[in-house]
């Protein structure tokens, strides 16, 4: 608590009592400004809702991503398998055996010793160039596999006459059966006979 000195008080009184009187400090009455609760509650609930919804959406997105990634992985696997399949086809087409066979079909033969063309002089060097006459040709077929008799038995063929009653509808049923239509599927008998005639 500050107690003003008596003499100063006297001096102040003397100089400007009225001013002092005006400047005297008084305790300000407490103003209780009641902040409205509603915005706060709204904000908190909004945060909460946003959080929950956000989390939910986050989860959903991740789930969705997981679906997508699984699907994409599956697709990648399929494409990889497809690529491998195509590569295998390409390899088969590239195989020296096939190329040699194609060449033979086209009437080509194994060549004689090569001759060289010197482009600067425009001359054939390294001996005379002789046309290929196939004198050195040999079979490019792979040697046949020799199997013991037990592994390659003679085929047993049995001819069985179809029952006379069913013979009439066989020709009509066969065309549809071959196309594997829904009705052909149930006609097991006809379908199988159709098979045998193809084989």
Partner 1 sequence: MFRLRIGFIVIAMVLSFFGARLIQLQAIDPKSYAAMAKRDGVITADLPADRGAIVDRSGVELAASVDGMMVIGDPELARDDAPQIARILAERLDLDYFSTLERLRKSGTRYQYLARRVPATKAEAVLKELDELDYKGITLERDPMRNYPSDDIAANLIGFLGEDEPLAGMERTFDTQLAGTDGKATYEVGAGYRIPLGESTTVKPKNGETLQLTIDRDVQFYTQRALAAAVTKARADSGTAVVLDTKTGQTLALADVPTFNANKPPLETKRNAKNLGARSLSEPYEPGSVEKALTFAALIDAGKITPRTRIVVPSEIKRAGAAPIGDHWDHDKIKLTAAGVLAKSSNIGTVIAARRLPSETLYDYLTSFGLGQRTNIGVRGESAGVVPDGATWSEGTHDTIAFGQGLSVNAMQMAAAVNTLANGGVYVDPSLVMGTATTDSGQKVGTSQAGTHRVVSEDAARQTAEMMELVTAEGEAGSAAAVPNYRVAGKTGTAQRVGKDCRCYDGTFTVSFGGFAPADDPRFTVYVVLQNPRNGMGGGGNAGPVFKQVMTYLLGKYGVKPTGTTPSTLPIEW
Site size with partner 1, rule: CB under 8 A: 51
Site for partner 1 in 33-92 (CB under 8 A): 59, 62-63, 65-67, 69-70, 77-78, 80-82, 84-85, 88, 91-92
Of the residues 1, 10, 119, 138, which one makes contact with partner 1 according to CB under 8 A: 138
CA distance 98 to 90: 11
String of DSSP letters for 57-116: HHHHHHHHHHHHHHHHHHHHHHHHHHHHHHHHHHHHHH-HHHHHHHHHHTT-----S--E
* 6-14, 32-40, 93-101, 164-172 -> range binding partner 1 (CB under 8 A): 93-101
Cα–Cα distance list, 194 to 5, 149, 158, 185 (Å) = 131, 31, 16, 12
Q: Taking CB under 8 A as the rule, does residue 128 contact partner 1?
A: yes
- Closest distance between partner 1 and the C-beta of residue 42, in Å? 32
What is the number of residues in the chain? 199
Residue 166 interacting with partner 1 (CB under 8 A): no
- 124 with 115: CB under 8 angstroms? yes
Task: State the residues that interact with partner 1 by CB under 8 A.
Answer: 59, 62-63, 65-67, 69-70, 77-78, 80-82, 84-85, 88, 91-92, 94-97, 100, 110-116, 125-128, 130, 136, 138-140, 142-143, 145-146, 148, 180, 185, 188, 191-192, 195, 199
């Amino acid at each position: 608590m500050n107690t003003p000195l008596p003499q100063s008080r006297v001096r102040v009184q003397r100089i400007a009592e009225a001013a002092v009187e005006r400047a005297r400090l008084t305790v300000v009455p407490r103003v209780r400004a009641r902040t409205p609760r509603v915005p706060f509650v709204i904000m908190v609930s909004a945060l909460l809702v946003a959080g929950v919804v956000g989390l939910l959406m986050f989860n959903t997105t991740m789930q969705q991503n997981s679906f997508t990634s699984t699907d994409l992985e599956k697709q990648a696997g399929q494409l990889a398998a497809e690529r491998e399949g195509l590569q295998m086809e390409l390899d088969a087409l590239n195989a020296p055996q096939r190329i040699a066979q194609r060449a033979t079909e086209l009437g080509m033969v194994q060549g004689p010793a090569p001759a060289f063309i010197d482009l600067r002089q425009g001359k054939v060097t390294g001996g005379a160039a002789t046309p290929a006459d196939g004198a050195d040709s040999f079979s490019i077929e792979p040697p046949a596999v020799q199997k013991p008799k037990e592994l390659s038995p003679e085929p047993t063929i049995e001819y069985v006459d179809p029952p006379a009653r069913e013979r009439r509808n066989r020709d009509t049923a066969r065309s549809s059966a071959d196309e594997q239509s829904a009705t052909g599927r149930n006609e097991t008998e006809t379908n199988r006979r159709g098979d045998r005639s193809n084989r």
